[in-house]
Structure 1
Amino acid sequence: MENNNRSNESDFVNFFKGLDESYQRYVIENMQKKPPDSPLAKQADMAESEGDPESR
């Protein structure tokens, strides 16, 4: 799972580097505005993925 996360991170970094500089700033500003995930939302996401037969 850790390798998959690194791959996704690498894909995002490569995608991000290809963006126009002004759009990079726009994306960063919007990411900073996003409220942090609440612990309850994280638990719900984890419960859904653990019970999902397709994720196994």
Structure 2
Amino acid sequence: MEVNMTANEVMNAIQQLKSQGENLTKKKVKQSHPDLMRHALHYFPDWNSAISKSDLA
């Protein structure tokens, strides 16, 4: 897998989706934003960790 997003870019993308009111369940994000999901799981142990870290950023 080619990693072309940084951890900060992943967190910013999650924050942006959240601010747009998108559903952030793992299943929905995997369907609508598969690249974001792949990168999030590269940097974080699981999807919920990525969301938690994004909320703190």
Q: TM-score, structure 2 length as denominator?
A: 0.30
Task: Using CA pairs under 8 Å that are at least 6 residues apart, name the structure with larger relative contact order, 1 or 2.
Answer: 2
Rg bigger for which structure? 1
Structure with the larger helix share: 1
